[in-house]
Amino acid sequence: VNWIEVGSGAEINTGVAAGSMDLGFGIGSSPTAAGISQGIPYEVVAMMDNIGPAEEMTVRKSANIKTPADFKGKKVATPFGSASHFRLLGFLKTNGLTQSDVTVLDMRPDAMVAAWTRGDIDAGYVWSPAKSKLLAAGGEVFETYKKLEAAGYVIADLIVARTPIATGNPAIITAMIKAYGRSLEMYRSKPDEASAIVGKQAGVSAEVAKADMAEYDFVPLKTQLTPTWLGAPGTQGKFASVLKGTADFLVEQKSIRKAPDETAFAKAINTSYLAKAVE
């Protein structure tokens, strides 16, 4: 396996579209909705987690940002095309703010940490380990996720596979999902050991990694096959409508040109490999 680390789900879209990536692990629901809308040849084969508070707004304490109105005139960074970008746009819309009120900057997570260190930005909407590094360097959480989830801005991390590869190599896709399932079971049964591995890879301590992972709702493989999530093979789960709603919002924000109807998103979810992985 040639493992390629990327900065955001938007880069997975670019890689799959170019034929240089076959599987995408941890791609956010927002770039996935955009990818399906734009005809990128991949399908959702499983999910990883309901993101919840794991991707959240971090503000500089010295910026004295206490209410949504305090963001006016501030510089906020996020990786464009990511689920965090989707949430940030939702935060602005639901609070009557526009991108003329707030300067929204497109930055990869590592660039965001560097900009924060230089004092170039006032806030960042991103995931860990970047989020943890912002918090450790004079940041604090400005909670947005509860109100945004209630308003329909649900985000999740998914696993996608390039359709020609998945169709021609179903056993490989099933094996990869099984491998992910084993790692998830290890995290549940040996959280300290798993946190040490993740922390080393992410460049943070095991304690920080453990706290970061605790913010995610990791969905067991069997649970993903229920109607609440992706649904069993041949059935439509609720997540197809989440992707459709996300795509419609991206059209409204002019991030993508158009969104197909909900059936296109349901068709792009293929849980046949997932079902075999849990047999």
E-only strand ranges, 148-248: 156-162, 217-218
Distance between CA atoms of 193 and 161, rounded to whole angstroms? 29
Q: Is residue 115 packed enough to be buried (19+ CB in 10 Å), middle (13-18) or exposed (0-12)?
A: middle
Distance between CA atoms of 157 and 72, rounded to whole angstroms? 30
pLDDT band at 165 (very low <50, low <70, confident <90, very high): very high
pLDDT at position 88 over 90: yes
Strand partners, 139: 60
Using the 8-state DSSP alphabet, how is residue 230 labeled?
T
What pLDDT, on the 0 to 100 scale, is given for residue 7?
86
**In the chain, % of residues over pLDDT 70:** 100
Distance between CA atoms of 232 and 229, rounded to whole angstroms? 9
56-69 burial code (b ≥16 CB/10 A, e <16): bbbbbeebebeebe
Distance between CA atoms of 78 and 140, rounded to whole angstroms? 16
For range 120-144, the mean pLDDT: 96
Distance between CA atoms of 19 and 22, rounded to whole angstroms? 7
Phi/psi for 106 (5° steps) reads -90, 110
* pLDDT, tens only, 211-265: 999 999 999 999 999 999 999 999 999 999 999 999 999 999 899 999 999 999 9
C-alpha dihedral, 266 to 267 to 272 to 274, nearest 10°: -50
* pLDDT, tens only, 6-35: 989 999 999 999 999 999 999 999 999 999
